[in-house]
């Protein structure tokens, strides 16, 4: 315990929590409790490596014993449902009959869940690597990372896909209902209703099979080694066991495109669908659709479904940003207004020779 106390004292002295000095004592006590619980569970000595607070209100505690572990504690009431959902998703994923060694080796595994001073916490195995968003910030390029991520997603959705199941309709219907509230607040409810009718018609003509989806697959949640090869995927709180295929890749492509231009996700979707000069991203999407045997005429309908999935996460978790007018304008109104006035994208973009 003396070693843990010394480490906590050093961490507290780093001012990791600017403006929250009164909470440092609480954070260090929570970290010490988690380390003690894990030590009892593993029946071995555990060493605290570091703690830090995320912008979404999670306290991250990194611990080392026989291997590295990551503990997550919610410091706000709105954060706890996300951490609980992520822990439940990882438990379900580990028990899935279709999970392969390749996929299991790149997903964290839940080791322990419990409560520390009334705060829920989960502890999972740490996956090596640096997240792609951080790599981009230090001058890295996205191309190799996207290619490696696409291979992971292709394996995930091929393994999980049920050729006889179209059970995504129920999940999609619930998301559509929740997002309708955002459309109403943005003043584009009529356009949203028309879009949904069009999507249902197009998807009913060639109904894709249901697959497992991560739900928030962007470079910040994907870890890579120094060769830009995917080593792990984290934060599974938006995972869905029965959803439309290709949504994860489309979101990755759009979010990366938006990051490069410092635009919102909604603006990124609009820009990507309208663009005619993004051959690398288009080729990734084309290859993914070919691998999953999805007709390319469904690229745009599934892109809008991916956009709905993104908005639905904000509805489910009640993110403060989604209640603000500027966010609604950029993420809800812009894509719907573009859809209303667009004559339709050039589908040949995704039919290029592979």
pLDDT at 354 over 50: no
Q: Domains in the chain, please, with CATH?
A: 2-125 (3.30.200.20), 130-351 (3.90.1200.10)
Distance CA 342, CA 270 (A): 10
Tokens of 169: 């309709």
> What is the rounded end-to-end Cα distance, in angstroms, of the chain?
59
Q: Which residues contact 129 (CB under 8 A, 6 or more apart)?
A: 223, 224, 225, 230, 231, 232
pLDDT at 239 over 60: yes
Tokens of 41: 């569970």
Provide the pLDDT for residue 18.
Answer: 38
Phi and psi angles of residue 28, each rounded to the nearest 5 degrees, phi first: -70, -35
pLDDT at 1 over 70: no
Mean pLDDT, all residues of the chain = 89
Q: Band the pLDDT of 130: cuts 50, 70, 90.
A: very high
* pLDDT above 90 coverage of the chain, percent: 71
Q: What is the mean pLDDT of residues 143-162?
A: 94
Q: What is the mean pLDDT of residues 8-21?
A: 40
pLDDT at 333 over 60: yes
pLDDT digits (tens, 9 = 90+) for 76-100: 888 999 999 999 999 999 999 999 9
Provide the pLDDT for residue 5.
Answer: 41
* pLDDT above 70 coverage of the chain, percent: 90
Provide the pLDDT for residue 232.
Answer: 97
Provide the pLDDT for residue 275.
Answer: 80
Q: Band the pLDDT of 248: cuts 50, 70, 90.
A: very high
Of the candidates 254, 295, 276, the one whose C-alpha atom is nearest the C-alpha of residue 346 is 276
What does each C-alpha distance from 67 to 101, 125, 179, 226, 349 come to in angstroms?
19, 8, 42, 21, 46
pLDDT at 177 over 60: yes
pLDDT digits (tens, 9 = 90+) for 131-141: 999 999 888 88
- Quick one: CA dihedral 183, 247, 217, 100, positive or negative? positive
Lowest mean pLDDT among 20-34, 54-68, 225-239: 20-34
Q: Which residues contact 175 (CB under 8 A, 6 or more apart)?
A: 308, 309, 312
Tokens of 133: 């968003």
Provide the pLDDT for residue 341.
Answer: 85
Q: Band the pLDDT of 343: cuts 50, 70, 90.
A: low
Provide the pLDDT for residue 305.
Answer: 97
pTM for the predicted model, two decimal places = 0.89
Distance CA 136, CA 226 (A): 13
Q: What is the mean pLDDT of residues 292-300?
A: 92
Residue 131 pairs with which residues in a beta bridge?
Answer: 223
Provide the pLDDT for residue 347.
Answer: 64
Provide the pLDDT for residue 231.
Answer: 98
pLDDT at 352 over 80: no
Residue 333 near residue 311, CB atoms below 8 Å? no
pLDDT at 243 over 90: yes
Of the candidates 252, 250, 155, 283, the one whose C-alpha atom is nearest the C-alpha of residue 211 is 155
pLDDT digits (tens, 9 = 90+) for 102-128: 999 999 999 999 999 889 999 999 999
SS3 sequence, 81-98?
A: HHHHHHHHHHHHHHHCCC
């Amino acid at each position: 315990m003396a070693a843990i106390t010394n480490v906590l004292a050093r961490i507290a002295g780093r001012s990791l929590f600017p403006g929250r000095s009164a909470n440092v004592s609480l954070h260090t006590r929570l970290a010490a409790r988690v380390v003690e619980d894990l030590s009892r569970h593993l029946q071995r000595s555990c060493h605290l490596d570091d703690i830090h607070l995320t912008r979404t209100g999670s306290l991250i505690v990194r611990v080392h014993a026989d291997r590295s572990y990551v503990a997550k504690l919610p410091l706000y009431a709105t954060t706890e449902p996300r951490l609980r959902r992520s822990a439940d998703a990882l438990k379900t994923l580990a028990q899935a009959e279709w999970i392969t060694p390749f996929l299991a080796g790149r997903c964290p595994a839940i080791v322990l869940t419990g409560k520390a001073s009334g705060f829920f916490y989960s502890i999972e195995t740490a996956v090596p690597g640096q997240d792609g968003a951080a790599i981009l910030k230090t001058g890295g390029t996205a191309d190799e990372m996207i290619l490696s991520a696409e291979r992971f997603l292709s394996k995930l959705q091929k393994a999980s896909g049920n050729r006889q199941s179209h059970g995504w309709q129920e999940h999609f219907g619930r998301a559509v209902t929740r997002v309708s509230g955002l459309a109403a607040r943005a003043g584009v409810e009529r356009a949203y209703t028309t879009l949904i009718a069009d999507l249902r018609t197009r998807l009913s003509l060639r109904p894709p099979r249901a697959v497992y989806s991560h739900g928030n697959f962007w470079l910040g949640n994907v870890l890579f080694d120094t060769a830009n090869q995917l080593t792990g995927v984290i934060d599974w709180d938006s995972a869905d066991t029965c959803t439309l295929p290709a949504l994860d890749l489309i979101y990755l492509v759009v979010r990366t495109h938006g990051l490069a231009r410092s635009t919102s996700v909604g603006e990124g979707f609009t820009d990507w669908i309208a663009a005619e000069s993004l051959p690398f991203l288009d080729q990734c999407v084309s290859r993914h659709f070919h691998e999953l045997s999805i007709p390319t005429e469904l690229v745009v309908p599934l892109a809008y479904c991916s956009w709905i999935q993104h908005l639905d996460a904000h509805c489910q978790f009640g993110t403060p940003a989604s209640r603000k007018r500027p966010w609604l304008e950029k993420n809800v109104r812009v894509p719907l207004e573009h859809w209303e006035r667009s004559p339709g994208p050039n589908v040949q973009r995704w039919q290029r020779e592979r």
